[in-house]
Amino acid sequence: MRKDVLIIGGGATGAGIVRDLALRGVECALLEMGDYCHGASGGNHGLLHSGGRYVVTDPPSAMECAKENAILRRTAPFCIEGTDGLFVSLPGDDPSFADPFLKGCKGSGVPAEELTAKEALSAEPGLSAEALRCIAVQDGSIDPFALVQANVDSAREAGAMVRNHCRVTDMVLEGGMVVRVKALDRRSGEILTIVPEIVINAAGAWAPQVAAMAGCEVAMGLDQGSMLVVDGRLCGHVVNRLRPPSDGDITVPNHTATVLGTTSRPAASPEDVAPSRNDMELLLRETSAMLPALRHCRVVRAYGGVRPLPGRGGRGASRTFSLITDERAGNLLSVVGGKLTTYRLMAERVSDQVCNALGARAGCRTRTEPLGPPADEAGGSVALARLRRKYGFKATTVSLADQRMLCSCEQVLRAEAQMVLAGPDALTLSDVMRRTRAGMGYCQGLDCALSLQELMMEAGGTEPLASLTEFLEERERGQALASGDQLRQEVLRRHVLQGVYGLGERE
């Protein structure tokens, strides 16, 4: 199969690139080995950065975040909550940090305003009464799964071929150019051969492995970060600690939950994502200093991701991005680093370079063109309002004829799962969960897993038992860290899975 451009990796960066190029009329394909967001794009904090976090330590990244934040709020409102954010300092924090922070905001174009403690408490009543200085910024919360899927949908509409569960396994070189790329499609077992003019390596933390297939090197630091999900929204704003970036600094309200994060340690491989008990304790301790009610909340999940950082990685590494070429494979371009918040900008820069090389003149459209048409007018039923919040303009494609509930924690209708199962992307139960949120809530799929499996079997889904086991194991990640009351709940959960559902002993 001939393509002008093959993109390897279906995280935010790859999905952004395939959309940008397809909108410019370039014939392109994207292959992703897992589901979209299998890597860091699904294992992150979900913070739409205002740039505030980087104004003192990494101003170029702060500027990129500030500009992209404004663009995404305009073009992708269906997957963003414009919560705004607060940076707060507590007793013990360096009181002299707030002034360079405010100066940095001004210098980097990050809108910021200092509030009095009284104003801050009235804006965010759960805030610690000990908060000393408080600066309001334009942080937000973003749903990466919805964002990436919308890029994929838009790219397909513009003519791109996009496939998940399709792993690139080999590259064949001739005369210092990649001439063929082979991939294994998990659905059909088929080996695909693509003959591309240009190959984009957007494989995140796997970028060095993908580059190695072409005999090239990409220097990258792998950095693991952990997050906790607590049930319920414990804050209305994103709440950040006003100090140099360190562990346990940020709480992000997201859908029905609050996400606490993050940590930073060197990762041994892109799969080295597991959080430790220490991470969990640290995150609860540090974030509850800002929002004391967090001490008494139920942690429903712990998860992690690996940051693909240029150079040696670590907290000190810049969060900007680089485009890397290598004369050993003249038509391979690797893109590394960056943030979820800046994925669109990364895609624009890559696409500009690709279009130059191809001699294509079309300019970037993603800065202004909405990511999918706006949702229909407000109004209609409660169910429709909920669907609009989750799917934007696609809400009306969910049939409301059958309003039976599939997942009561996240209020997901069976019809939503049926819509996803009728599409081209869902191979496993986890794929349905990422698109509908079924199984992401309080009980982490305990209640809906079997019904979901039944729907998959009705839709002719493959390997239903393997898919169910994968789903439950994935949902269990982090539960093993539970202690006290949470451990009691975990024992009950295991009893239901093993004793009632008969799913047997699992590690």
Ligand X SMILES: Cc1cc2nc3c(=O)[nH]c(=O)nc-3n(C[C@H](O)[C@H](O)[C@H](O)COP(=O)(O)OP(=O)(O)OC[C@H]3O[C@@H](n4cnc5c(N)ncnc54)[C@H](O)[C@@H]3O)c2cc1C
- Contact stretch for ligand X (CB under 6 A) within 9-17, 109-117, 278-286, 461-469: 9-17
Q: Is 253 in the site for ligand X (CB under 6 A)?
A: no
Binding mask 218-247 for ligand X (x = CB under 6 A): -------x----------------------
Residues 406-425 that bind ligand X (CB under 6 A): none
- Contact stretch for ligand X (CB under 6 A) within 12-20, 112-120, 174-182, 192-200: 12-20
- Contact stretch for ligand X (CB under 6 A) within 238-246, 299-307, 416-424, 452-460: 299-307
CB closer to ligand X, 26 vs 65 = 65
User: What is each CA distance from 207 to 7, 195, 265, 357, in whole angstroms?
Assistant: 12, 20, 19, 21
Please identify which residue in 88, 228, 306, 371 interacts with ligand X, judged by CB under 6 A.
306
CB closer to ligand X, 48 vs 497 = 48
Determine contact, residues 299/284, Cβ cutoff 8 Å. Answer: yes
Encoded amino acid at 444, one letter: Q
Strands (E) across 291-354 are located at 299-310, 321-326, 329-337
Q: Can you tell me whether residue 176 is helix, strand or coil?
A: coil
Determine contact, residues 22/28, Cβ cutoff 8 Å. Answer: yes
- Contact stretch for ligand X (CB under 6 A) within 28-36, 77-85, 405-413, 416-424: 28-36
CB closer to ligand X, 367 vs 494 = 367
Q: Is 203 in the site for ligand X (CB under 6 A)?
A: yes
Please identify which residue in 7, 21, 29, 40 interacts with ligand X, judged by CB under 6 A.
40
Q: How far is the CB of 370 from ligand X (least distance, A)?
A: 20
Q: Is 254 in the site for ligand X (CB under 6 A)?
A: no
CB closer to ligand X, 98 vs 250 = 250
Q: How far is the CB of 49 from ligand X (least distance, A)?
A: 5
User: What is each CA distance from 383 to 78, 90, 285, 407, 439, in whole angstroms?
Assistant: 16, 42, 38, 14, 18
Size of the site for ligand X (CB under 6 A): 39
Q: Is 128 in the site for ligand X (CB under 6 A)?
A: no
Binding mask 138-177 for ligand X (x = CB under 6 A): -----------------------------xx---------
- Contact stretch for ligand X (CB under 6 A) within 4-12, 69-77, 132-140, 374-382: 4-12
Nearest Cα residue to 455 out of 403, 418, 419: 418
- Contact stretch for ligand X (CB under 6 A) within 39-47, 54-62, 130-138, 372-380: 39-47
Q: What is the 3-state secondary structure (H, E, C) of 358-396?
A: HCCCCCCCCCCCCCCCCCCCCCCCHHHHHHHHHHHHHHH
Enclosing H/E stretch for 88: strand 85-88
Please identify which residue in 305, 313, 441, 461 interacts with ligand X, judged by CB under 6 A.
305
Enclosing H/E stretch for 238: strand 238-241
Buried b (16+ CB within 10 A) or exposed e, 115-130: bebeebbeebebbbee
Q: Can you tell me whether residue 298 is helix, strand or coil?
A: coil
Please identify which residue in 24, 49, 237, 265 interacts with ligand X, judged by CB under 6 A.
49
**Cα(131)–Cα(324) distance, rounded to whole angstroms?**
44
Q: Is 307 in the site for ligand X (CB under 6 A)?
A: yes
CB closer to ligand X, 167 vs 233 = 167
Q: How far is the CB of 56 from ligand X (least distance, A)?
A: 18
Residues 6 or more apart whose Cβ sits within 8 Å of residue 44: 144, 225, 227, 305, 340
276, with CB counted inside 10 A (0-12, 13-18, 19+), is middle
- Measured N-to-C along each axis, helices 414-422 and 429-436 cross at an angle, to the nearest 10 degrees, of 120
Is the backbone peptide bond immediately before 262 cis, with ω within 30 degrees of 0?
yes
Please identify which residue in 205, 300, 302, 317 interacts with ligand X, judged by CB under 6 A.
205
CB closer to ligand X, 48 vs 446 = 48
Residues 320-339 that bind ligand X (CB under 6 A): 338-339
- Contact stretch for ligand X (CB under 6 A) within 40-48, 394-402, 409-417, 469-477: 40-48
**Cα(201)–Cα(67) distance, rounded to whole angstroms?**
25
**Cα(285)–Cα(269) distance, rounded to whole angstroms?**
28
Q: How far is the CB of 41 from ligand X (least distance, A)?
A: 3
CB closer to ligand X, 262 vs 444 = 262
Which residues of this protein are in contact with ligand X, per CB under 6 A? 8-14, 31-34, 38-41, 43-47, 49, 167-168, 202-206, 210, 225, 262, 305-308, 338-341
